[in-house]
Structure 1
C-alpha cells in the first residue's frame, strides 16, 4: 500500500507509521465478462488479492466509509514454510482522542495453486504423441502460438494431464475468485477482515463512528442551509 510520502515529508512526519485507506488498487470489471476476466487473470496478483479482500471484508462488516475515520494496515509475509497475513483495523473519534484498534493474523500453507505435472517416465501422458510419417511431416495438428493463446480464453481449459480448472462465479466483497489461489485461502482472507471488524464492534466502534458521522452530516446540512 502506498503512503502519502510527499505530504508526510513536508509535514516532517515521513518516518511515522501510516494506516492506509481501505481497499485501494482494484480494477473494476463485470463478473459475467469471462473474456475480460481471463485477460486480467495474469495481473491478478495473489498477494495483493489476499490483502485487498481482507480489507474489503473489514470495511463491509464495519459499515465504514468516507464519513468516518476508519483505517487498516495489512501485511503478508512468508514465515518458515507458511505465509502469515496480518490485519490491523482502527477507528478514531473526530478529535482523535478516542482510538479503537484490533489486530488478527491468519496463516496459509500456500497462497497459490500447485500445478500437477504428469511428465515423469512412469506416468502416462494424456497428450497425444506427435507421429512423424516417412516424409518427416507430422500427422497431428500443430497449433500456432496465436491458436494456443486463443484456447486460453475459455471458461475451462485442460493441458497435458493437468487438472481441469473451472471458472468460479462466486463473489467475495465485490471481488471475483482468483483462480490461481486455493479457494480456502480466499475464504480465510474474507473471514479475517470480518473477524477484525466484529472485534472492533464489540469494543464500541459503531458508537464512535456514529458520533463522527452525525457531526459530518450536521455540518453538511448547515452549509446547504
Structure 2
C-alpha cells in the first residue's frame, strides 16, 4: 500500500469505468471511513501495445496492460475492472482480491423506439442487429437466421446514438449490466433468456485487481468479496481457461447458484462453443455441490422486479434511504452526418475480432468529433495512410509478418500455459484469492467444475471448432495487413 491512509485506485477514463470505480470506493468508505482514496486514470493507446505478440492480438489484456504496469510498480494500489475484460491468466504477482455481488449477467436487446414491442423472433426478416461480439453473432446466426447481423463499434453512448439516429440498425445487443450501471436501464427492451442466449464469462461482475502479496489491500477488500459470485466466476473462468481462454472464438456460459440447505449450495454451469456462422454448436453442462462456512445471503434485491436490479441495490432502497439512485445519462450530442462517417464503421480491419472489445482501438474511448479531429479524413478511411499507421492491429500484425511470422499461431491450451501462465502462487483460483466463507478445497472444486465442463466439450470436438474460427480471423487480419 502506497500509504497508511491514502489509497491510489487505477481506472480507465471511460464513463462506465469511472462509475464502477467510484462505486467500489463508496462501498469501501463505509467499512474504512478513515481511508482516503484517490483515482488515477489512464488511457491505453495503440503505440503502447506493439510488444504484444501476434497470437495475442485481440486479447483483452491489451485493455488492461497500462493499469497493471502501474499496479506492479506501486503507482496504484488496486484497479477496478469489469471481470469479463480480465484474461483468465493474470500477470505475475497480480490477483483478483475481490469480486462484488454480480449484476444481472444477461444480454439486453435494445430496439429502436418505434418497434419496442418486438422480440428477436418477431422482428421482420432482414432486420439488422448491431453487435461487435463473435459470441453474440454466432448465437444470432444460429437461432434467428431471418435477421442480419452487422458490426457496430464505439462506446455505449455512440452505439445508442447510432441506433437512434442512423436508421441502419433495428436493434443492438449489449450487456445489461453496463446499461444499468451507467443509468440507462430504461433503454433495455428485453432481457435475453440466459438458457437460450448464453453470456460472456464473468459478465456482470466487478473485479478488483491488486498485487497478490499485498495482504493489507486484500484485507481491505474482504468486506466486498461476494461468495456466490466467486464460486460462479471461478467455474466460468476455469472453463474458458481450460478451453484456451482469450482466443478469438465464440465461447459463452451461463451459471446458477442454488441454496440446497443451510451452508450447502449447488452450482450449475452450462457452456458452449460455436463456429463463426453459428452452424456448429457444441454445448453441455455440469454441476457440483459445495459446503460453505458462512450463511449465503440473497444477492438479488427483494425490492426490484428480479429482472433489472440496480448495481448493489443502489436504486431507491427502503432499507437505506440515504442511497441516491443512479442518475439518467444524456446521449452524446453528435450531428447525424458526422456519426454516419464514424471511422469505426469504415475501419479496414475485417471484423468480427471476437470481442466486446474496448481499448484495442486508440479511438474507441473518444467521442466521434474527437476521432475526426485526430485523423484527417478526406475520404474513406481505407485511403488515409495516417489512420492506418496508428491502427494497433495493423502495426502489430505487420511487425509480426516482417519478422517472419508467415503463419498465425493458434492459441491452444499449451500456448496459453507457456505464454500466459502467470499466476503468482498456487493459492489463486483462476486469478481469484480464496474466499473466507469457503474452504480451499471447495474453491478448488469450483475450479474443477469448469475444467470438467471444458473437457466434456473438448471430447465433442470443441477445440477443432475453435481452431477453425481462430484461423479464419487471424487470416483475415494478416490479409489486410499485407494489402495495406
Q: What TM-score, normalized to structure 2?
A: 0.33
Give the structure 1 partner of residue 167 of structure 2. none
- Over residues 94-149 of structure 1, what are the superposed CA-to-partner deviations in whole Å (9 max), with x where a residue is unaligned? 110110011011012x32348xxxxxxxxxxxxxxxxxxxxxxxxxxxxxxxxxxx
- Secondary structure at the aligned position of 2:271 is classed as strand
What's the offset of the Cα at 1:80?
Answer: 4.2
Structure 1 residues 1-225: aligned runs within 5 Å: 1-7=104-110, 12-13=119-120, 14=190, 16-17=192-193, 18-24=197-203, 25=205, 26-81=207-262, 82-108=264-290, 110-113=291-294, 170-225=427-482
- 8 Å CA contact 2:257, 2:267 repeated in 1: yes
- 8 Å CA contact 1:113, 1:182 repeated in 2: no
Q: Which has the larger radius of gyration?
A: 1
The 3 A distance-change label for structure 1 pair 223 and 103 is same
What's the offset of the Cα at 1:8?
Answer: 6.9
Give me the whole-angstrom Cα distance separating, in 2, the residues matched to 1:206 and 1:214: 12
- Secondary structure at the aligned position of 1:172 is classed as coil
Give me the whole-angstrom Cα distance separating, in 1, the residues matched to 2:279 and 2:426: 44
Equivalenced residues, count: 171
- 8 Å CA contact 1:69, 1:93 repeated in 2: yes
What's the offset of the Cα at 1:39?
Answer: 0.5
Give me the whole-angstrom Cα distance separating, in 2, the residues matched to 1:84 and 1:220: 43
- Over residues 42-99 of structure 1, what are the superposed CA-to-partner deviations in whole Å (9 max), with x where a residue is unaligned? 1110000000100111111100325010001100011245311000010000110110
Give the structure 1 partner of residue 398 of structure 2. none
- Secondary structure at the aligned position of 1:20 is classed as coil
| Alignment gaps of 5+ in structure 2 | 1-103, 121-189, 296-424
What's the offset of the Cα at 1:5?
Answer: 1.9
What's the offset of the Cα at 1:27?
Answer: 1.7
| Alignment gaps of 5+ in structure 1 | 115-167
